[in-house]
Structure 1
Amino acid sequence: MPLLFEEIDSQASALGEISLRRRRMPAFGDRDIYEVKLGDEFLMSSMFVDAEEALSTLGLAATQGDTLSVVVGGLGLGYTAVAALKDTRISELLVVDALNTVIGWHRDELVPLGKILNADTRNRYVLGSFFELATAPSTGFDPQCAGKKFDAILLDIDHSPTEFLNPANAGFYTTENLALMAEQLKAKGVFAMWSQNLPEPSFEALLKTVFESVTSHVVSFYNPFQNGESTNSVYVCVKAE
């Protein structure tokens, strides 16, 4: 009988102790549930992936062209990246994460989606701070091609535009820094971002200072712990011509 709980890995990071755990909950059927914790805080669970996948599907639906270069900010358990790779238009996907530990979980296939990402030649892991790379357009996201421009940038790192995984991330959410990131998008390129909260009008207004159009989507999903519906949101922004 499989173990009901196992800590697969735990390592120190610049943000605190980060751990990967696997558990079984008999009430939820015969499946492994993977979780990531940072210190005492739960960051993500494979039980709730609808909005992470919607970040890719909604963001890429707004793109134009048949050969797409895409950046995903935040690897997590891999659901946003794998959902993006289902779009056959993608020619390359750069997945940026600041923690080598998280990249290692995927490279070593300690998480289920690691095998899918490793097998897809379009996928490439980039170790680095998304926020530092986003605000340095002369070098940019691709360590092999300085100043490269992309068709889409998909961001899932902070809990929301006002609740940060790291307090240092707060400085990214300004007109100046969002505009620096937008320099790395092609004309009509797309920036999409996940949030655990409902759309925030103040953030929508901020995005409109940089992007030609801003659309907020509410993503609903069943939460078995609450025996009801939960919601996240995805902001989809399109750069001007």
Structure 2
Amino acid sequence: MSRLFEEIDSQASPLGEISLRRRRIPALGDRDIYEVKLGDEFLMSSMFVEAEEALSTLGLAQVQGDRLDVVVGGLGLGYTAVAALKDERIAELLVVEALDTVIGWHRDELVPLGKTLNTDRRNRYVHGSFFDLATAPDTGFDPESPGKKFDAILLDIDHSPTEFLNADNASFYTTENLALMAEQLKPKGVFSMWSQNLPEEGFESLLKTVFETVESHVISFYNPFQSGESTNSVYVCAKGRTRPQ
């Protein structure tokens, strides 16, 4: 196999064949680029991580206090989780991931950030559907502490609030289900979400039916394949002291 490309792992999943690949592109320098594909669709690349990291930094910047308990929805290549752990206020980080294969890549350190996550005692992987756990506040995200509330929930699973990794995820994006998730936030807790698209006015309006404040951030980064700037967005929402009626 060419040293410029290697398929590290490929396994069946409930969503289809998921694969981890490593490649080098000589024109982009001497570095390994890690990619995840689901079937024929590219899910993520270590080339473009600015917005995944901003999901953590922008979200946590709005959180008050110390000894923070935080949930990351979607492990991916680990960039959102590692960026969150750079915040010294975090006491515990739960990373909720539906695909056990992806957790295995990190536990086995087949991806660059696996060792960082494995050696940080504040980090814990939770194998399960973020969307199922988000809409069941009586049990919640932490299997060891049912009903536990969190200072922040950081979500990076779907491509956008209107383009879904799995069609079943669409039902999450409603006032009712967002409010069920918000029940798992402490007073003034923060919900932050990544999107591959520019901010969508309709989704901002939906978020305002649940959260006291809603801000949208456009994250720009250089894309060498387009020889120019690309953009993602991050929504940051703060909860009021009581659940909206």
TM-score (norm 1): 0.99
User: Equivalent residues in 2 for 1:67-146 (5 A)?
Assistant: 67-146=67-146
Per-residue CA distance 1:145-200 (angstroms, 9 max, x = gap): 00000000000000000000000000000000000000000000000000000000
Unpaired stretches in structure 1, ≥5 consecutive residues: none
Counterpart CA distance in 1 for 2:40 and 2:127 is 24
Per-residue CA distance 1:17-62 (angstroms, 9 max, x = gap): 0000000000010000000000000000000000000000000000
Counterpart CA distance in 2 for 1:3 and 1:91 is 41
- Residue 51 of structure 1 corresponds to 51
Counterpart CA distance in 2 for 1:225 and 1:65 is 41
- Residue 154 of structure 1 corresponds to 154
Per-residue CA distance 1:95-145 (angstroms, 9 max, x = gap): 000000000000000000000000000000000000000000000000000
Counterpart CA distance in 2 for 1:111 and 1:38 is 17
The sequence identity of aligned pairs, in percent, is: 84
Counterpart CA distance in 1 for 2:231 and 2:169 is 23
- Residue 4 of structure 1 corresponds to 4
Counterpart CA distance in 1 for 2:66 and 2:98 is 30
The CA deviation at 1:67 is 1.1
Per-residue CA distance 1:208-241 (angstroms, 9 max, x = gap): 0000000000000000000000000000000002
- Residue 222 of structure 1 corresponds to 222
* 1:240 partner SS: coil
Counterpart CA distance in 2 for 1:117 and 1:28 is 27
Counterpart CA distance in 2 for 1:218 and 1:67 is 29
Counterpart CA distance in 2 for 1:149 and 1:230 is 35
Counterpart CA distance in 1 for 2:228 and 2:147 is 46
Counterpart CA distance in 1 for 2:79 and 2:27 is 23
Counterpart CA distance in 1 for 2:194 and 2:38 is 19
- Residue 231 of structure 1 corresponds to 231
Counterpart CA distance in 2 for 1:26 and 1:207 is 43
1:212 equivalent to 2:215? Answer: no
Counterpart CA distance in 1 for 2:21 and 2:224 is 19
Q: CA RMSD in A?
A: 0.6
Counterpart CA distance in 2 for 1:66 and 1:36 is 34
Letter in 2 for 1:60: L
- Residue 42 of structure 1 corresponds to 42
Counterpart CA distance in 2 for 1:122 and 1:199 is 32
* 2:121 partner SS: coil
Counterpart CA distance in 1 for 2:166 and 2:44 is 15
* 2:219 partner SS: strand
